[in-house]
Amino acid sequence: MTNQANKENMTANTVGRLCFRNVNALAPMVRVGTLPTRLLSLDYGADIVYSEELIDIKMAQCQRVVNEVLETVDFVAPDERVMFRTCEKEKDRVVFQMVGYTRELSLSAMENDVAAIDVNMGCPKEYSTKGGMGAALLSDPDKIEAILRTLVKGVSKPVTCKIRILPTLEDTLSLVKRIENTGVAAIAVHGRLKDERPRHPVHCDFIQAIAEAVSIPVIANGGSLDRVKAHADIEEFRKATGASSVMVARAAMWNPSVFRSQGLLSVEEVMEEYLKYAIRYDNHAFNTKYCLCQMLRDKVESPLGKQLKSAQTNKEICEGYGLQEYYKKTQAELQARREAIQTNHNHPNQPVLDGDVTTMHVKFERREYPGEFSPKMFLLEWSRKENLEQPRYETVQRSQDRAFQSMVTMTGKKYRSTLWEKSKKYAEQASAIVCLRVLGLPEGRAGEEYSGLVGKRKREKNNEMPDEEDTTTYFGARKRHLSENPEEQRVTNYSK
Ligand SMILES: Cc1cc2nc3c(=O)[nH]c(=O)nc-3n(C[C@H](O)[C@H](O)[C@H](O)COP(=O)(O)O)c2cc1C
């Protein structure tokens, strides 16, 4: 066990928050670290995936959009460009990396969609250093401290930072101790100086000294070229640096299956899997091309490379990989979903079959149900009356806005509203409404025609004998109507 691992074993795990101990991470990489690469890296075994660095000011201008068709959350710039796209599958493991820090950037808009926030303090590129950000921050520890303290205080998710080493070990250790004191959850160390290029050897001794000096997890980085080529090398790099975790950039850019404990896959195989994600999540074709070209490396002049270079769309890219059928099928699925969503929006009263679930665009508005009987109660009462199994509710909560969606099963059939509700209770009511409307049953809405069920309950409350005949007639009539002409009942009842 490494010194860091030893120390960390004595530190309790923080439950429910992303843990940076003993993890293999996909490093942040501009253009490479978009959704398809991140998902593929997770598939192959990465524990954590960093986004590409995104400039704070640009993010501040973005609007958060829930993309119902792709099932993603998009941060969209004023020019309609998707700056950051994420989905459920990575929500607990994606770290959003930002460069720069201004007060305009409201991280609260996105902190629910990611597992942690990282600040890049190692970027040597002019666009970030000229504004005093990126690697320029390394010579301004006061500013580093101020930024990190503000973020740690203001963000509910773990905050980390990524640095490069300083010319002397003494200065480097002094810096990382100050960083540790800000309360960050981990520190990623690219073991090179600001002016060193990726071809220069990585300074494992500096990373080791840092790992000795601090108690928070240190994520070693910089080993791709000469040390990390396959999964087993990651562990070697971890040992050589004494760090808790390892972050891999270029080796993963060339072949994300570097995270695969069973060994590397061929680049051809990996490219195909990458492309599938790119299509499924409608990745920008230029970005898809760029990432595939990085995987091809010196084979860019091969026939496949040439085809890739000339392709302008994801569809054309697919042709080179024999994935035309997959492309068509995925497009058809996305189109079907688009239409179903559109139908729901245009004809809120029209039921749409989504797999084996009947869906409608229904929202439970409390004020529309002024009586003491909720749609759920109506459904339950009906099931009892008909000697049927009681309705069964299954509810899910989505991460991006903590909203709820419920599905009710009644007589083996499933019903769901396409709309998400602010509470579990409301989501159940909405699904009950869908079921009641499709079955043509009363739901207790204001102005609804007289319901025998309501009458029965009221009489029970008044200690009168319930008028069995009344409710039976009511439901009986409805039931006959349903079984005789289900289409007609749908049309009749949607207008309620
Ligand atoms: C294409 C590319 C883009 C990069 N973009 C970022 C970035 O957005 N943020 C960052 O902190 N580092 C970035 N880096 C640096 C890497 O995260 C990493 O620190 C560096 O490549 C050393 O790690 P490696 O030896 O595993 O490649 C980038 C590197 C490459 C190759």
Q: Does residue 341 lie within any of the structural domains?
A: no
Pocket test for ligand 1, best of 29, 94, 204 (most atoms within 8 A of CB): 29
- Domain end, chosen from 216, 239, 265, is at 265
- The helix/strand/coil state of 492 is helix
- Domain end, chosen from 211, 240, 265, is at 265
Q: Does residue 276 lie within any of the structural domains?
A: yes
* pLDDT tens for each residue of the chain, 496 residues long: 444 544 444 333 444 789 999 999 999 999 999 999 999 999 999 999 999 999 888 888 888 888 989 999 999 999 999 999 999 999 999 999 998 766 556 666 788 899 999 999 977 777 767 777 777 888 889 999 999 999 999 888 999 999 999 999 999 999 999 999 999 999 999 999 988 988 899 999 999 999 999 999 999 999 998 899 999 999 999 999 999 999 999 999 999 999 999 999 999 999 999 999 999 999 999 999 999 999 999 888 888 899 999 999 999 999 999 999 999 999 999 999 898 888 777 776 778 777 688 988 888 988 888 888 899 999 999 999 999 999 999 998 876 567 899 999 999 999 999 888 989 999 999 999 999 999 989 898 887 754 455 444 443 343 332 332 333 333 333 333 333 333 333 322 222 2
Claim to verify: residue 49 and residue 62 sit in the same structural domain: yes
CA 420 to the chain's CA centroid: 17
Q: What pTM value is reported for the model?
A: 0.74
- Domain end, chosen from 331, 362, 377, is at 331
User: Ligand 1: does its nearest atom lie under 6 Å from the Cβ of 204?
Assistant: no
- Cα–Cα distance for residue pair 388/479, rounded to 1 Å: 13
Q: What contacts 175, CB < 8 A, 6 or more positions away?
A: 138, 141, 144, 163, 166
Claim to verify: residue 85 and residue 160 sit in the same structural domain: yes
Q: What is the CATH number of the domain that holds 181?
A: 3.20.20.70
Q: Is 123 a catalytic residue?
A: yes
User: Ligand 1: does its nearest atom lie under 6 Å from the Cβ of 25?
Assistant: no
Claim to verify: residue 298 and residue 327 sit in the same structural domain: yes
Q: Tokens standing for 453?
A: 């069920």
Claim to verify: residue 136 and residue 117 sit in the same structural domain: yes
Separation of CA 249 and ligand 1 centre (Å): 5
- Cα–Cα distance for residue pair 35/37, rounded to 1 Å: 6
Q: Tokens standing for 139?
A: 């010579």
For residue 18, which of 84, 90, 98, 72 has the smallest C-alpha distance?
A: 90
Structural domain count, the chain: 3
Claim to verify: residue 23 and residue 166 sit in the same structural domain: yes
Q: Does residue 337 lie within any of the structural domains?
A: no
Pocket test for ligand 1, best of 137, 161, 250 (most atoms within 8 A of CB): 250
Q: Which atom from ligand 1 is nearest to the alpha carbon of 252?
A: 26
Claim to verify: residue 274 and residue 315 sit in the same structural domain: yes
Q: Which atom from ligand 1 is nearest to the alpha carbon of 248?
A: 26
Q: Does residue 397 lie within any of the structural domains?
A: yes
Q: Tokens standing for 254?
A: 């060339």
Claim to verify: residue 252 and residue 296 sit in the same structural domain: no
Q: Whose Cα sits closest to atom 7 in ligand 1?
A: 29
User: Ligand 1: does its nearest atom lie under 6 Å from the Cβ of 418?
Assistant: no
- Cα–Cα distance for residue pair 344/139, rounded to 1 Å: 56
Which residues are paired to 496 by β-bridges?
none
Claim to verify: residue 259 and residue 278 sit in the same structural domain: no
Task: Give the Å distances, CA to CA, from 494 to 217, 349, 356, 434, 491.
Answer: 58, 5, 20, 10, 6
**Domain interval for residue 303:** 269-331
Claim to verify: residue 352 and residue 242 sit in the same structural domain: no
Q: Whose Cα sits closest to atom 2 in ligand 1?
A: 29
Q: Whose Cα sits closest to atom 1 in ligand 1?
A: 29
Claim to verify: residue 172 and residue 122 sit in the same structural domain: yes
Claim to verify: residue 377 and residue 299 sit in the same structural domain: no
Question: Which backbone phi and psi does 101 adopt, to 5 degrees?
Answer: -155, 115
Q: Which atom from ligand 1 is nearest to the alpha carbon of 222?
A: 25
For residue 156, which of 109, 105, 99, 215 has the smallest C-alpha distance?
A: 109
Claim to verify: residue 95 and residue 232 sit in the same structural domain: yes
Q: What is the CATH number of the domain that holds 448?
A: 3.30.160.20
